């Protein structure tokens, strides 16, 4: 399989495909965590809101079929990454990295101060991956209240508090001339 892909805005009719990608990607996570929990996908209402905001992007293969996606929302001068998933056949081919690079460009275009997200602290393709592209862990007083609320919500929904981490990639502000 060729690793040729393009990053573009998602289309409304692709939302069911994005759910398939998310569920497929969960298999990799469940293997890494050694869990057998049933996969849960984002509600289409969240994907649709990201789409309407211009913050739902896909990596599309040579036939223009989505193989990965990133959904985001603007929160408090940051681009919050809601979800990043790549189908198993396309993992470890740079798809996630390119989706994140595009998200950085979207945040810069919108003149936002940072990208933010919450993720698993230990799984290699979670926090360590984000650290490799410049994200830093934020905790204590450095954690914005909205990220604290996201982490608290995840924990209240059954996620392990020892594994959850908030991360931020601060973007340089353009100089005023």
What pLDDT, in 10s, does the model give residues 116-141? 999 988 776 678 889 999 999 998 88
3-state secondary structure of 1: coil
Rounded average pLDDT over 56-64: 97
pLDDT for res 1 = 43
pLDDT for res 110 = 96
Rounded average pLDDT over 23-37: 68
Sign of CA dihedral 157, 22, 130, 89: positive
pLDDT(115) > 90: yes
Question: Of all residues in the chain, what percent carry a pLDDT higher than 90?
Answer: 66
pLDDT for res 36 = 56
Rounded average pLDDT over 2-6: 79
pLDDT for res 160 = 82
pLDDT for res 68 = 97
pLDDT(28) > 50: yes
Cβ atoms of 69 and 60 closer than 8 Å: no
pLDDT for res 175 = 47
pLDDT for res 173 = 60
The alpha carbon of residue 139 and the mean position of all alpha carbons in its chain are separated, in whole angstroms, by 19
pLDDT for res 99 = 97
Put the strands of the sheet holding 78-86 in their side by side order: 5-9, 56-61, 66-75, 78-86, 114-120, 164-170, 136-138
pLDDT for res 124 = 67
Beta bridge partners of 168: 116, 136
Stronger pLDDT, 33 or 68, i.e. the higher one:
68
Mean pLDDT of the chain: 88
Domain ranges of the chain: 5-170
Instruction: Select the CATH number that applies to the domain covering 5-170 from these four: 3.40.50.300, 2.130.10.10, 3.40.630.30, 3.10.150.10.
Output: 3.40.630.30
């Amino acid at each position: 399989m060729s690793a040729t892909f393009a990053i573009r805005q998602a289309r409304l009719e692709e939302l069911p495909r994005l759910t398939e990608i998310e569920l497929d990607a969960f298999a990799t996570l469940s293997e890494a965590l050694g869990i057998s929990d049933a996969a849960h996908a984002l509600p289409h209402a969240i994907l649709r809101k990201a789409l309407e905001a211009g913050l739902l992007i896909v990596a599309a293969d040579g036939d223009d079929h989505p193989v990965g996606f990133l959904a985001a929302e603007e929160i408090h001068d940051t681009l919050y990454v809601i979800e990043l998933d790549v189908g198993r056949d396309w993992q470890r081919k740079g798809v996630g990295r390119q989706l994140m690079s595009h998200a950085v460009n979207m945040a810069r275009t919108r003149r936002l101060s940072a990208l933010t997200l919450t993720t698993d602290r230990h799984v290699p393709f979670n926090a360590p991956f984000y650290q490799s592209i410049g994200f830093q862990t934020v905790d204590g007083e450095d954690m914005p209240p909205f990220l604290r609320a996201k982490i608290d919500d995840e924990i209240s929904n059954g996620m392990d508090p020892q594994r959850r981490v908030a991360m931020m990639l601060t973007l340089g502000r353009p100089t005023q001339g």
